[in-house]
Structures are given as C-alpha cells and as structure tokens.
Amino acid sequence: MAITSKDEERIRSIKAASGRAFKVRDLGETFLGMDPSSRGVDGSIKLAQRRYIEEVLERRQLSKAKPRVTPLPPGSNKVLPADDHDTELKDSTSCSALYLAICIMPDIAQALSILAHFMVKPAKSHMKLVLGVLMNLAGTREHGLAFGGPVSWLCRAIE
C-alpha cells in the first residue's frame, strides 16, 4: 500500500492504524521498488532503483566491479549464436536486467533487446555480455527517470 499526503503526521497516523489492523512492514520512501526523491527548487521528482541494482550486482558478485561505460561493447549486435551453451545465468540475471530496462533504465533496453534473441539457448559469450550490462549498471545505479513540475505530496510505502 502506498500512502501519499501533504501532511507527514497524517501519513504516520495512517501507518499506525494500518499496523494495528494488519501485519505490515514499513518500506520507507520507496514505491514499487523505486526510490522517489525530490530534485530541488523546481519541485521535480526522480525515480531510481539504486537498492535493487545493488542487490542484483551483489547476487552476481559484481558490487565492486569496474563500471562499464556502455551496456554493450561496439559490434555486439553482430554476435552470432555459439555452440557452448550455458544457461546457468539465464533466468535470474537476464530477467533482473530486463525488469530494470522496463521500469527505470531505458538506456539498457536496446542492449537487452539484442541479447534477448539469444536467451533461448544462450552461449557463454552471450551471458558474458549480460554480465557486461550489469557492469554498466554499476556505474549508473544513481540514474533514474526525472519528472518535472511541482510536487506537493509525500509518499511512503508499507507492505
């Protein structure tokens, strides 16, 4: 449940009442896994998924990886399927990256659309490229989508 209001005290009272009626977990200032933040005087808001990106990187032991400047190296769209199939990373890693591309990181969508052609039977070379996309996220974990205009409400979430 997301609670929005101009009044922080009202948010606290709704959260307390919900906690008395249901078993809830306070997720803080997050909404659908996204971290909303104010971006200054103009009242714009930024949605990012830094925590989720860090969780995905940690699962693949890439949290301290050197960030890659681009999601794919030049010429990667010409990679052909190979015979050295390795599906170990297929489900979780590719899906995690795809989720980020759909929700908040459109800059990796093109790279993932190229790699998606090979996800039925990915070769080790394809999975290395997927890990490269994650290494790109290591350098862009603070990036997100920004929406302009005045924001006159606060958002808190509980589960």
Encode the chain (159 residues) as per-residue pLDDT tens digits. 777 777 889 988 998 998 899 988 887 776 666 777 766 667 777 778 888 888 888 888 888 889 988 888 887 766 555 555 555 545 566 677 777 776 767 778 888 888 887 777 777 888 888 888 889 988 888 888 777 765 555 555 555
Residue 56 one-letter amino acid: V
Q: For residues 153 and 128, what is the distance between their CA atoms, to the nearest angstrom?
A: 43
Q: In this structure, are residues 159 and 33 in contact, taking their beta carbons and an 8 Å threshold?
A: no
- In this prediction the pTM is 0.65
Q: How far apart are CA 84 and CA 114, in angstroms?
A: 19
Show the tokens assigned to 58.
């940690």
8 A C-beta contact, residue 34 and residue 104: yes
Closest C-alpha to 105, from 66, 74, 73, 134: 134
Q: Count other Cβ atoms within 10 Å, centred on residue 9.
A: 8
Instruction: Give pLDDT, residue 123.
Output: 78
The pLDDT value recorded for residue 17 is 92
